[in-house]
Structure 1
Amino acid sequence: MTPNKAIESLHQLGEEMRSYLAQTTSVAGIDKTTASGIKEQWEYALRHAEQENGWFTRENILNALTNISGWLNRDALSQWIEPYRIPRHNPNPLSVGIIMAGNIPLVGFHDLISILATGNKAIVKFSHSDRVLMEFLLNKLKAMGLAWSEWATNDGNGEASFDRMAFPGMDAVIATGSDNSAKHFEYYFRNKPHIIRRSRNSAAVLDGTEKDEELQKLGTDIFSYFGLGCRNVSKLYVPEGYDFKAFFRNMERFGSVINNHKYANNYLYNRTIYLMNGSRFTDNNFLLVIEDSSLASPCATLHFEYYKNEDALAGLLLAEKDKLQCIACGNRIKDNLMKLNTGFSGGIFAGFGKTQSPALNDYADGVDVIAFLNQIQAHSLIKTISGNL
């Protein structure tokens, strides 16, 4: 399929998604056999996903769909790929394997549309945590003319067994996982062009001048998706002597997270560990805030670290550069950090409340997927031309 046709199919899905989001009142008594209407199909998919994964609440799924629906717009998609000078007709589309994560709803969708919107083919390995929603959307795209295939497995249990998989039909692989799984991916795909994504986290920088509205938006960065995404804020950098009173006052509106049993179990478990270890922490009955230099924090826990001045802050952030997905902060902090030649690109910074609302050109880990695919195609073309001389 040509990129233009792919964009039309993605836009069509976006139109259906936006129509559903405009009328998201729950419909009772839906099952697969009665889900004949468009809205009923979406409602069934959402309920099925909730049943399969206790982290995937209706609110979190709708948040993910709302962000994705902003991507699936003809003008937005065209403007996104225009700088790459993608040929109108892709005579030799790549077959790209994609191993998806499943920590938050539809987290692998951006990689997917990066492949499809450029006229290439996707071979999908679903995450067992996010199969329902992703397969639902992919089947919608297939009905709209966008072909994809599932990554075949050979272990008899529906799980990936990479040592028994054949890769000859794949031109490249994009794999997302933990630091441990990344080591295995690097080995398995050593002979294929690849993007391997490891564990990353996001941080926020405060200077004590933040208004209540900004702190409330920061709360969204912390608590959306129960803090499980790599773009969720897991750590605060605060100036020495910072008073947390305003912070905790503005977090109160997020207290309903404790009503999710999986979140509550993590909160109680981590609280017990801290108490047994005699750790000093602050507790507001749904969030544990503890001083810790680690960027990654357990679920229901937020780390913080003091900084003496902005030069010291820049040093702390640089030490975590390869582990940071994004940094939430105000414009003053952003401008000052950029002036200090930290090496951070502007794309790593996000305004408060925006960390989980990336734009189409906000690539995970800062790795431009479309440029990566273009480079492979260019290399393949040069090789073909050389072989014909």
Structure 2
Amino acid sequence: MNIENQVLGLIKLSDYIRAYLAKSTEEFNESDSEFELLLRKSEIENPWFTIDNQKFAFRQWAELLTETNIKDWLKDYSASETSKRVGLILAGNIPLVGWHDVISVVLSNHIPVIKLSSKDQYIIPFLLKKWREFSDNNVEYEFVERLDNFDAVIATGSNNTARYLEYYFKNHLNIIRKNRTSVAVLKGDETEEELKLLANDIFQYFGLGCRNVTRILIPEDFLIDRLFESFIDHKDIINHHKYANNYDYNRAIYLLNQDKFWDNNFVMLKEDDKLFSPLSVINFSRYSSMDEVRNFIAENEENIQCIVAKDELGLDSIRFGEAQNPGLNTYADNVDTMKFLEIV
């Protein structure tokens, strides 16, 4: 395989996506129309994959896959001299969630053997086909229903699934990913704009991604109303029938159990120590010192994907609004995929 051709093809692919997103339907060529049709088909098959959410994911990738970014990323790694078959069991919780694994395997000079998620069957095959066209057929890959001929595996699943995967792939080099979620820590003096950016970190992709904030730590005197005020731009989320079903169900459970919760008719806030919250619910807790915050993060480190907070809190955090904008060198579960692929 020719890595230079693959990189050039990836840059052309990002240019193609950028051009597609900038066009109106009337300006579409045949390839654009095929792309648009696949997006609509994906939404029909998986209603969580709305056109807006899919296009948001494409926009993030188009901005990320520039020549500078790709070369800066790859300079710290060496491609394998021998191509191996790397099995990929992809998740399907948010659009393009497995794309980083796919490009990592290809640019490490390996062959991705891909088991697609049943929730995301169309877009990655289309992107790989275009990438191959743009790189003079220098991208090799394979789609399978079952992994049975591979040298290493990268798999993503729930905590229950991960136990099975760890046993099944115990004799192979592997990365097995589990459930994670993200937290936000508020200092109390956040601006209205910062809290609105936090709302994006919460509601993008309906809150289904591991980088979505599901738990907020707030100072003891923080007014809950400030959060609800910052959420208001996302009120239309309740018009999505699957999200609304989750909201109605969780609200009914809390009412039946006589649990205390705050409600603004499209999302609920619940004072709860749990890290993970149900869809349509944000857990929060109050802290009196940063030591409490650090202890909480340390205790839950294996389950936290990222922390959203002000830099000045010194929590190895990312800024408000950046949760869904990871870089190429940002790895799920903080396991360096490219370093792993060097030893396959």
TM-score range for the pair, normalised by the shorter chain length: over 0.9
- Of 277, 286, 304, 1:324 maps to 304
Q: CA deviation at 1:247?
A: 1.4
Q: CA deviation at 1:147?
A: 1.5
The aligned residue for residue 355 of structure 1 is 323
1:37 equivalenced with 2:37 (yes/no): no
Alignment of 1:1-389 (within 5 A): 1-23=1-23, 25-26=24-25, 37-84=30-77, 86-87=78-79, 90-144=80-134, 145=137, 146-153=139-146, 166=148, 169-333=149-313, 335=314, 337=315, 346=316, 349-376=317-344
Which residue type is aligned with residue 14 of structure 2? G
Q: CA deviation at 1:36?
A: 6.1
Q: CA deviation at 1:2?
A: 2.5
TM-score, length of structure 1 as denominator length: 0.85
Take 1:238 and 1:152, find their aligned partners in 2: how far apart are those partners? Answer: 46
Give unmatched runs, 5+ long, in structure 1.
29-34, 154-164, 338-345, 377-389
TM-score, length of structure 2 as denominator length: 0.96
Which residue type is aligned with residue 327 of structure 2? A
Whose relative contact order is higher, 1 or 2, with alpha carbons under 8 Å and at least 6 apart? Answer: 2
Identity %: 39
Q: CA deviation at 1:72?
A: 2.1
Number of residue pairs the alignment of both structures matches: 341
Corresponding residue SS for 2:76:
helix
Take 2:338 and 2:4, find their aligned partners in 1: how far apart are those partners? Answer: 15
Larger radius of gyration: 1
Q: CA deviation at 1:364?
A: 0.6
The aligned residue for residue 384 of structure 1 is none
The CA RMSD measured in Å over matched residues stands at 1.5
Take 2:169 and 2:132, find their aligned partners in 1: how far apart are those partners? Answer: 27
On the 8 A contact 1:141/1:147 being kept in 2, the answer is no
Corresponding residue SS for 2:200:
helix
On the 8 A contact 1:205/1:328 being kept in 2, the answer is yes
Q: CA deviation at 1:264?
A: 0.5
Take 1:287 and 1:101, find their aligned partners in 2: how far apart are those partners? Answer: 25
Give unmatched runs, 5+ long, in structure 2.
none
